[in-house]
Structure 1
């Protein structure tokens, strides 16, 4: 990035560091132009109702799958723990009744108690199933926030600007600027993190066209 007066412009870092032999793109792009189109992509593509609905459904299914795995692990630990407790109590009863005695019994009891302690610790450390609940209004909330981002990013209120920048960082992973043949024209590839909305792993990529429109690219939800 370079600064000319109060204006920020982005240029190819490879060209700046290694010269024109490394990259023949000597053009720069205004930071304000990139910001405006990225915010439009956020509002109109990443937060489009169908994309958010699909991502939230995928997140719900993933959460249900994770919960099934958690319940399965906890179920096995609980079964093993119950069995260890029963075996330990059975040995104690047999010793009390005089059926069993000797050092070997003490070793078995010690082993069962150690197993019981281990299983109890593993069960306590195991996560509990999470409630599958995704707020249906979360996408609209973000759309409203994004709608005010352009103003918030330039406000003198540092707290509002910091909040706006934080939201952009959470929703946008990378922005790739590609110069076009027409002078002053460029395309942007915006990789947005839909996970910022649903708190799940996943991403969504859109291509911002050279004009006012946007062309959808590959989606990975």
Structure 2
């Protein structure tokens, strides 16, 4: 029996040896049964609820792709929870395995059919949620004992020890004398009126290593006001251990983990006077200074959002290129205290003018348009060919998903069910329904890109109208989203010659540019990398 092996470990539950242990167990079973191992796929330190796409779980995605050759008899894993800890993913994985003519087999449960798979999928998902709740509860107990639930703040050293019965007592901390001096210095200098950026510069220039072993950054010192992190907001330095400031949420579509600040009423505080580094007076002075700096001037409150905000990066260090003051932009990492060598500064109006000029004159060259259109058609044909082969399977899955949605809608009215869980499953099912409908629609309607001979002239006329609209605040607000959609990245590098202008490279999204020129959007999932083209310098 031709077999694919799959093993996974989560960084929250196991260590890296778990992969080798799982593979050894599966291999031994295959040898006893006489099963032929065709290939082995693994995912390291990835949650079983992370998703099944290549960017989420590359090992599992590669396994499912290998099945498409239809020459595999079974997928073999230690247990169903190695494949998924999410009901929707578990269902999709089983369905795809069956679609390609293979079976799912686990060392713990044998062959996994629809009934067994559904039950196991629900239990695997519930275990993940219950485990998270138990971990949170355990952390609350840890804080109540005066121990840190996770992490080690700058200024402290780990002081874990064995209990009389031989168990390791974790979460104990002690003050690091050398780092404590730096902590007091940072608080004292800030209270004296020195900015976090200037403090970071001083520490870096003196060769003092930052908390992560690298350079100091102003964000490390000041932190984020909403999430209440950063050294100047860490109450542990005044002898108070704070827990539950944030919660982790998982986006049901992207599966990315998001950090949500909790209301201060949910925070848990515990006095740990033995870990105090600064006095209450110094803490109060720093918080008063922070509160005073938090007030924005009327000019700042009225300042419109810049059209290029978030699109510009430093060509030397790759960091964000930010607004330094009312007139100039520069490397954010350099301003933040890092050792980036890019000292170039570009006037805001000059930067916007050069980027707009590049989009208007240089990113619609005939050879770029021809290359894009040819690649667009080639890539789309490849994807549609693959999708057509899977059409019947997608139509079958769409019917099941629609049936699932109908049942979930009815389940919302059941007072005994967990409404939040039903809502999450309904959201995921609707997202899958939309994805399937869009794919099937694309198979029915293969898109062809045709361009008018006067495309370049039409493009420049539209640009003239765009520039006129940008002259007013109302027009600027309306036009900015369209402008930003045409830009993938703007890289700013030091001048090629002394006293010259900074070098600016524009990476544009040609699909969006063509859509703007024709008035008909052609943005498509097929144009992920093909659409990006580079501007020519100097502008």
TM-score range normalised by the length of the shorter chain: 0.5 to 0.7
Q: 1:123 to 1:66 in 2, by over 3 A?
A: farther
TM-score of the superposed pair, with normalisation by structure 1: 0.61
Distance in 2 separating the partners of 1:182 and 1:67: 52
Q: What residue is the counterpart of 2:384 in the other structure? A: 67
Q: Stretches of 4+ moved more than 6 A in 1?
A: none
Q: What residue is the counterpart of 2:371 in the other structure? A: 54
Match 1:167 to one of 482, 490, 495:
482
Match 1:40 to one of 344, 350, 357:
357
How far the C-alpha of 1:2 sits from its partner, in A, is: 2.7
Is the 1:179–1:187 contact (alpha carbons within 8 Å) kept by the matching residues of 2? yes
Q: Does structure 1 residue 146 correspond to structure 2 residue 433?
A: no
Q: 1:40 to 1:71 in 2, by over 3 A?
A: same
Match 2:449 to one of 134, 138, 142:
134
Structure 1, unpaired ranges of 5+: 79-116, 213-221
Q: 1:54 to 1:147 in 2, by over 3 A?
A: farther
Distance in 2 separating the partners of 1:177 and 1:118: 50
Is the 1:170–1:193 contact (alpha carbons within 8 Å) kept by the matching residues of 2? yes
Q: 1:179 to 1:190 in 2, by over 3 A?
A: same
Distance in 2 separating the partners of 1:50 and 1:122: 46
Q: Does structure 1 residue 204 correspond to structure 2 residue 204?
A: no
What count of residue pairs does the alignment treat as equivalent? 164
Q: 1:13 to 1:118 in 2, by over 3 A?
A: closer
Q: What residue is the counterpart of 1:14 in the other structure? A: 333
Is the 1:43–1:147 contact (alpha carbons within 8 Å) kept by the matching residues of 2? no
Structure 2, unpaired ranges of 5+: 1-322, 403-435, 515-521
SS of the residue corresponding to residue 447 of structure 2 reads coil
Q: 1:54 to 1:122 in 2, by over 3 A?
A: farther
RMSD: 3.1
Distance in 2 separating the partners of 1:30 and 1:148: 24
Which residues in structure 2 correspond to 1:172-191 (within 5 Å)? 172-180=487-495, 181-191=497-507
Distance in 1 separating the partners of 2:356 and 2:477: 16
String of CA shifts for 1:122-161, please: whole Å, max 9, x gaps. 79946131332224149544443234444433x2251x32
Q: What residue is the counterpart of 1:85 in the other structure? A: none
Is the 1:189–1:208 contact (alpha carbons within 8 Å) kept by the matching residues of 2? yes
How far the C-alpha of 1:171 sits from its partner, in A, is: 1.0
Distance in 1 separating the partners of 2:398 and 2:330: 58
Higher relative CO (CA 8 A, sep ≥ 6), structure 1 or 2? 1
How far the C-alpha of 1:29 sits from its partner, in A, is: 0.6
Distance in 1 separating the partners of 2:482 and 2:334: 31
SS of the residue corresponding to residue 10 of structure 1 reads strand
SS of the residue corresponding to residue 340 of structure 2 reads coil
